[in-house]
Structure 1
Amino acid sequence: MYVDLINTSQDLNLKVTTLQVAGCGGAPCSQQLALQIKQTLNVRHLRQGYGMTEVSGVFFSTLNDTLEQVTTTVGCLVDHCEVKVVDREGRMVPMGTPGELWVRGYNVMLGYFNDEEKTREFIRPDGWAKTGDQFVLQEDGYARIVGRMKDVIIRIGLKIFPSEIEEFFETHPDIMEAQVFGVPDPKVGEEICVYLRLREGVTITEQDVVDFCKDKIAHYRIPRYIRFINEFTRTSTTGKIQKAQLLAKLLSELSLKNL
Structure 2
Amino acid sequence: MSYLKSGCDEPLVDVTLGQLLDDATARWPDKEAYVFRKQGVRMAFADVKQEADRLAAGLMSIGVGRGDVVAWVISGRPEWGPLAFAIAKIGAVSLPLIPLYFWSSYDDTVSKVMAKVKVKVFLMENFPATEDCEGTLPFLRRVFPETTSNKTKSLTIDTMPSLRSIVIIGDKNHEDAFYNLEDIQSLGTDASAWGRVQDAQSHADCHDAVLLALTSGSAGLPKCVEHSSLTIVNSTRLHMKATGMDKKSTVLLPTDLTEMPIAFQLPFTAGCTLVLPSEESPTVSEILTAIGEERCETTTLMYVKTFHEFLHDPALNEYDLSFLEQVSVGGNAVTTPLIRRAAEVLPSVEISKMYGSTETLTITVTSREMTKEQVESTVGSLLPHMEMKVVDRHGQIVPLQHEGEVWVRGYSMFKCYRGDEEKTAEVKTADGWYKTGDIGILDDNGLLKITGRKEEFIIKDSTNVHPTMVEQVFLTHPKVFDVKVVGVPDPALVEEICACIILKKGQTSHPQEMKEFSEKHGLIDDYCPEYVIFVDSFPVTSTGRKFDRKKLRDVAIEKLALQEAAE
Give the TM-score taking structure 2 as reference length: 0.43
Q: 517, 533, 537: which is aligned to 1:231? A: 537
- Kindly indicate whether residue 417 of structure 2 is the aligned counterpart of residue 116 of structure 1: no
Structure 1 counterpart of 2:358, one-letter code: T
Change (3 A) 1:249 1:151: same
Q: Deviations over 1:113-166 (max 9, x none)?
A: 121111111111121110101111112121111111110111110111100100
Q: 1:252 maps to what in 2? A: 558
Whole-Å separation in 2 of the counterparts to 1:252 and 1:196 = 16
Say if 2:378 and 2:450, in contact at 8 Å, map to a contact too: yes
**Higher normalized strand content (fraction of residues):** 1
Q: 2:523 maps to what in 1? A: 217
Query: Equivalences for 1:69-80 in 2 at 5 Å?
Result: 69-80=374-385
Structure 1 counterpart of 2:355, one-letter code: Y
Q: 1:177 maps to what in 2? A: 482
Say if 2:489 and 2:562, in contact at 8 Å, map to a contact too: no
Q: Deviations over 1:32-85 (max 9, x none)?
A: 111111212334211001111111111012242222222221110011100000
Q: 1:188 maps to what in 2? A: 493
Runs of 4+ in 1 over 3 A off after TM superposition: 12-17, 235-239, 253-258
CA RMSD of aligned residues (A): 2.1
Deviates most, 70-79 or 15-24: 15-24
Q: 2:433 maps to what in 1? A: 128
Query: Equivalences for 1:1-150 in 2 at 5 Å?
Result: 1-9=306-314, 14=317, 18=322, 19-150=324-455
Secondary structure of 1:51 counterpart: strand
- Kindly indicate whether residue 513 of structure 2 is the aligned counterpart of residue 208 of structure 1: yes
Deviation at 1:254, TM superposition (A): 4.0
Structure 1 counterpart of 2:539, one-letter code: T
Change (3 A) 1:256 1:79: closer
Deviation at 1:220, TM superposition (A): 2.0
Whole-Å separation in 1 of the counterparts to 2:347 and 2:318 = 8
Whole-Å separation in 2 of the counterparts to 1:149 and 1:242 = 15
Change (3 A) 1:50 1:209: same
Whole-Å separation in 1 of the counterparts to 2:552 and 2:381 = 33
Q: 1:243 maps to what in 2? A: 549
Secondary structure of 2:375 counterpart: helix
Query: Equivalences for 1:153-164 in 2 at 5 Å?
Result: 153-164=458-469
Secondary structure of 1:8 counterpart: coil
Secondary structure of 2:313 counterpart: helix
Whole-Å separation in 2 of the counterparts to 1:146 and 1:256 = 28
Identity, % of aligned positions: 34
Deviation at 1:232, TM superposition (A): 1.9
Gap regions ≥5 residues in structure 2: 1-305
Deviates most, 176-185 or 62-71: 62-71
Whole-Å separation in 2 of the counterparts to 1:160 and 1:151 = 9
Say if 2:311 and 2:341, in contact at 8 Å, map to a contact too: yes
Change (3 A) 1:131 1:61: same
Deviation at 1:250, TM superposition (A): 2.1
Give the TM-score taking structure 1 as reference length: 0.91
Say if 2:307 and 2:329, in contact at 8 Å, map to a contact too: no
**Higher normalized helix content (fraction of residues):** 2
Deviation at 1:212, TM superposition (A): 0.7
Change (3 A) 1:115 1:226: same
Q: Deviations over 1:174-222 (max 9, x none)?
A: 1111100111222101100110011100011111111112243112211
Say if 1:37 and 1:43, in contact at 8 Å, map to a contact too: no
Secondary structure of 1:2 counterpart: helix
Change (3 A) 1:164 1:15: farther
Deviation at 1:237, TM superposition (A): 4.7
Say if 1:179 and 1:195, in contact at 8 Å, map to a contact too: yes
Say if 1:156 and 1:189, in contact at 8 Å, map to a contact too: yes
Change (3 A) 1:115 1:175: same
Secondary structure of 2:387 counterpart: strand
Whole-Å separation in 2 of the counterparts to 1:162 and 1:200 = 24
Say if 1:2 and 1:37, in contact at 8 Å, map to a contact too: no
Deviation at 1:253, TM superposition (A): 3.4
Gap regions ≥5 residues in structure 1: none
Change (3 A) 1:225 1:104: same
Change (3 A) 1:43 1:28: farther
Say if 1:80 and 1:106, in contact at 8 Å, map to a contact too: yes
Change (3 A) 1:256 1:186: closer
Secondary structure of 2:414 counterpart: coil
